Amino acid sequence: MTLFLVKRLIMLAATLLVAAIVVFSVLEILPGDPALVMLGVSAQPDTLAALRAEMGLDQPAWTRFFQWIGGLMTGELGRSYTYDVPVSELIGERVVVSLPLAVMALTLSTVIAIPLGVIAASRHNKTLDIALTGAAQFGIAIPNFWFAILLILLFSVTLQWVPAGGFAGWDAGFWPATQSLLLPAFALALPQAAILTRVTRSSVLEVLQEDFVRTARAKGLSRNAALWRHAVRNALIPVITILGLQFSFLLAGTIIIENVFYLPGLGRLLFQAIAQRDLIVVKDLVVLLAGSVVLVNFIVDLGYAVLDPRLRSGGGHV
Amino acid sequence: MSDGLAEIWRTGLRNRGFVIGGIITVSFVLLAAIALIWTPYPVEEIVVTRRFQGISSAHWLGTDQFGRDLVSLLMAGAVNSVAVAIVAVGLGVGIGVPLGAIAAARQGWLDEILMRANDFAFAFPALLSAVMITALAGPGAINSIIAIGIFNIPVFARLTRGAALVVWKREFIMAARVAGKGPLRISIEHILPNISSVLIVQVTIQFALAILAEAGLSYLGLGTQPPQPSWGKMLNEAQTLMFLAPQLAIFPGVAIALTVLGLNLFGDGLRDVLDPRLRRER
Amino acid sequence: MKRLFLALATCVAGLVPLQLQAAGDGHLNMGVVLEPPHLDPTAGAAAAIDEVVYANVFEGLTRIDRNGEVKPGLASSWNVSDDGKTYRFTLREGVTFHDGTTMDSADVLFSIERAIATDSVNAQKALFEPIESVAAEGAGTVVVTLKRPTGHFLFNLGWGDAIVVGEESADGNKANPVGTGPFTFKRWVKGDRVELQRNDAYWGEPAKLATATFRFIPDPAAAVSAMMAGDVDAFANFPAPENMVQFEADPRFKVVIGSTEGETILSTNNGRPPFDDIRVRQAIAHAIDRKAIIDGAMFGYGTPIGSHFAPHHPAYVDLTNRYPLDLEKAKSLMAEAGHADGFKATIKLPPPSYARRGGEIIASQLREIGIELEIIPVEWAQWLEQAFRGKDFDLTIVSHTEPMDIGIYARESYYFDYQSEAFNGFMEKLASEVDEKARYAVMADAQKQLSEDAVNGFLFQLAKHGVWNAKVKGLWENSPVQANDLTEVSWEK
CA dist C36 and C53 (Å) reads 10
Chain A positions touching C388 (Cβ under 8 A) are: 41
Rounded mean pLDDT of B76-89? 92
Nearest to B227 among C245, C246, C363 (CB): C363
- Reduce the DSSP state of residue B248 to 3 states and report it: helix
**Do residues B128 and A290 make contact, with C-beta atoms less than 8 angstroms apart?**
yes
Q: How far apart are the CA of A218 and the nearest CA of chain B, in angstroms?
A: 28
Query: By the CB < 8 Å criterion, does A90 face chain C?
Result: yes
Q: Among residues C85, C157, C149, which one has the least CA distance to residue C116?
A: C157
| Other beta carbons within 10 Å of B108 | 8
A180 found inside a domain: yes
Kindly identify which residue of chain B lies nearest to residue C223, measuring between CA atoms.
Answer: B240
Instruction: Please tell me which residue, A245 or B74, carries the higher pLDDT value.
Output: B74
What confidence score (pLDDT) does residue C478 get? 86
Q: How confident is the model at residue B235 (pLDDT cuts 50, 70, 90)?
A: very high
As a whole number, mean pLDDT of residues C290-318 equals 93
* Calpha distance C493→C491 (Å, rounded): 6
**Any domain includes A53:** no
Q: How many other C-beta atoms can be found within 10 angstroms of the C-beta atom of residue C374?
A: 13
Q: State the nearest Cα–Cα gap between A119 and chain C, in angstroms.
A: 13
Contacting residues for C351 by C-beta, under 8 A, at least 6 apart: A275, C377, C379, C380
Residues B22-39 have pLDDT tens digits of: 999 999 999 999 999 998
- Exposure of C205 by Cβ count < 10 A (0-12 exposed, 13-18 middle, 19+ buried)? exposed
Give ∠ CA B179-B185-B190 in degrees, rounded to 5: 80
Spatial neighbors of C312 by CB under 8 A, at least 6 apart, are: C259, C461, C478
Q: B121: domain CATH number?
A: 1.10.3720.10
- A220 CA: distance to closest CA in chain B (Å): 30
A153 to chain C, any CB pair closer than 8 A? The answer is no
User: Do the Cβ atoms of A143 and B256 come within 8 Å?
Assistant: yes
CB contacts, 8 Å: C243 with chain B: 240, 243-244
The reply to whether B60 falls in a domain is no
pLDDT tens per residue, range C106-122: 999 999 999 988 888 88
Scanning C167-277, the segments in alpha helix (DSSP H) are: 220-229, 244-248
CB of C6 within 8 A of CB of C84? no
Instruction: Looking at the complex, report in whole angstroms how far the Cα of residue A213 sits from the nearest Cα belonging to chain B.
Output: 21
Q: How near does any CA of chain B get to the CA of A251, in Å? A: 7
Q: Distance, in angstroms, between C364 CA and closest chain B CA?
A: 6
Neighboring chain A residues of B126 at a CB cutoff of 8 Å: 252
Bridge partners (DSSP) of residue C235 are C31, C467
For residue B253, which residues of chain A lie inside 8 Å, CB to CB? 142-143, 146, 149-150
Q: Report CA-CA distances (Å) from A204 to A119, A195, A231, A245, A300.
A: 10, 14, 6, 19, 21
Secondary structure (3-state) at C373: strand
Residue B132 inside a domain? The answer is yes
Give how far B73 is from chain C: nearest CA, Å: 15
Q: Is the CB of residue B196 less than 8 Å away from at least one CB of chain A?
A: no
Give contacts of A 130-149 with C, CB under 8 A: 135
For residue A300, the enclosing domain spans: 94-311
| pLDDT of amino acid A31 | 64
Nearest to A149 among B17, B125, B239 (CB): B239
Cβ contact A84:C38 at 8 Å: yes
- pLDDT at residue number A44: 65
Q: What is the pLDDT of residue C454?
A: 95
Task: Tell me how far apart the alpha carbons of residues C344 and C373 are, in angstroms, rounded to a whole number.
Answer: 6
The Cβ-side half-sphere exposure at B207, using a 13 Å CA radius, reads 25
C375 with B227: Cβ contact below 8 A? yes
Task: Using a CB–CB cutoff of 8 Å, tell me whether B93 touches chain A.
Answer: no
Res. B277: pLDDT tops 70: no
Chain C hits for A163, CB-CB cut-off 8 Å, are: 19, 222, 225-226, 228-229, 231
**Mean of per-residue pLDDT scores for chain C:** 88
| Number of other residues whose CB lies within 10 A of the CB of residue C225 | 26
Q: Is B281 a residue whose pLDDT tops 70? A: no
Please, what is the angle between helix B141-168 and helix B70-106, to 10°? Answer: 40
* Sequential pLDDT tens for chain A (318 residues): 678 788 878 878 887 888 888 888 877 776 667 777 666 655 667 777 777 777 777 788 888 888 888 888 888 888 887 777 789 988 888 888 888 998 899 899 989 998 999 899 888 888 999 899 889 989 989 998 999 989 888 887 778 777 666 777 787 788 878 888 888 999 999 988 998 898 888 888 888 777 777 777 777 777 777 777 777 777 777 777 777 767 777 877 888 888 888 788 888 888 878 777 788 888 888 888 888 887 887 777 777 666 655 544 443 333
Domain count of the fold of chain B: 1
Interface of C with A in 111-150 (CB under 8 A): 118-126
Q: Of the ranges B7-11, C27-31, C472-476, which one carries the lowest mean pLDDT score?
A: B7-11
Name the residue range of residue B132's domain: 2-43+69-281
B52 part of a folded domain: no
Position B216 pLDDT exceeds 70? yes
Domain membership of residue B55 (yes or no) is no
Residue A116 belongs to a domain:
yes
Does C300 contact B at CB distance below 8 Å?
Answer: no
Mean pLDDT of B84-103: 92
Q: What is the DSSP letter of C105?
A: H
* Residue C332 confidence (pLDDT): 95
Q: Do residues A188 and C242 touch, judged by C-beta distance below 8 A?
A: no
Per the CB < 8 Å rule, is C376 touching B241?
A: no
Minimum mean pLDDT range among A236-240, B146-150, C431-435: A236-240
Residue A98 lies in a domain: yes
Residue C141 has pLDDT above 90, yes or no: yes
Per-residue model confidence (pLDDT) at position A86: 87
Mode of pairing for the β-strands spanning C234-235 and C27-32: parallel
| B124 or B164: which leads in pLDDT | B164
* Out of C221, C364, C365, closest to residue B239 by CB: C221
Q: Is residue C352 within 8 angstroms of chain A, CB to CB?
A: no
From chain A, pick out residues whose CB is under 8 angstroms from the CB of B239.
Answer: 149, 260
Nearest residue of chain C to residue A85 (CA atoms): C175
pLDDT of residue B282 exceeding 60: no
Instruction: Say if A167 is an interface residue toward chain C (CB within 8 Å).
Output: yes
| Per-residue model confidence as pLDDT tens digits over C230-256 | 778 999 889 888 888 888 888 889 999
Counting the structural domains of chain A, the total is 1
pLDDT of A316 reads: 38
- What residues in C contact B73, CB-CB < 8 Å? none
Residue B275 in any domain: the answer is yes
The helix (H) or strand (E) run that includes residue B197 is helix B192-219
Mean pLDDT of all residues in C68-96: 92
Contacts of C46 (CB under 8 A, 6+ apart): A38, A40, C34, C36, C37
Question: Taking 80 as the threshold, does the pLDDT of residue C60 lie above it?
Answer: yes
A76-118 pLDDT, tens per residue? 888 887 777 789 988 888 888 888 998 899 899 989 998 999 8
Residue B62 lies in a domain: no
| Residues of chain B positioned with their CB less than 8 A from the CB of A301 | none
B206 in a structural domain? yes
Pairing type for strands C253-268 and C457-469 reads: antiparallel
CB pairs under 8 A between B and C: 59
Q: Which residue of A has its CA nearest to C39?
A: A83
Q: In this structure, what CATH number is given to the domain that contains residue A111?
A: 1.10.3720.10
What is the pLDDT at residue A309?
A: 55
Distance CA B69, CA B41 (A): 6
**B239 in contact with A, Cβ within 8 Å:** yes
Q: How confident is the model at residue B275 (pLDDT cuts 50, 70, 90)?
A: low
**Inter-residue contact B135 to B181 (CB < 8 Å):** no
CB contact under 8 A, C243 and B244: yes
Q: What is the mean pLDDT of residues B131-139?
A: 72
Tell me: pLDDT of C316 over 90: yes
- Inside any domain, residue B139: yes
> Cβ–Cβ of B243/C246 closer than 8 Å?
yes
Can you give the pLDDT at residue C1? 37
How many Å lie between the alpha carbon of C367 and the closest alpha carbon of chain A?
30
Q: Considering only CB atoms, which chain B residues are within 8 Å of C359?
A: 226
Q: How far from C434 is each of A130, C83, C84, C397, C430, CA to CA, in Å?
A: 85, 10, 9, 34, 8
H helices of C349-464, where? 353-367, 380-382, 421-432, 436-452
A233-237, long-range: CB within 8 Å, 24+ apart, which pairs? A234/A207, A234/A210, A235/A118, A235/A200, A235/A203, A235/A204, A235/A206, A235/A207, A236/A114, A236/A200, A236/A203, A237/A307
Residue B47 bridge partners (DSSP): none
pLDDT over 70 percentage in chain C: 95
Q: Where are the beta strands (DSSP E) in C148-239?
A: 183-189, 193-198, 211-216, 234-235
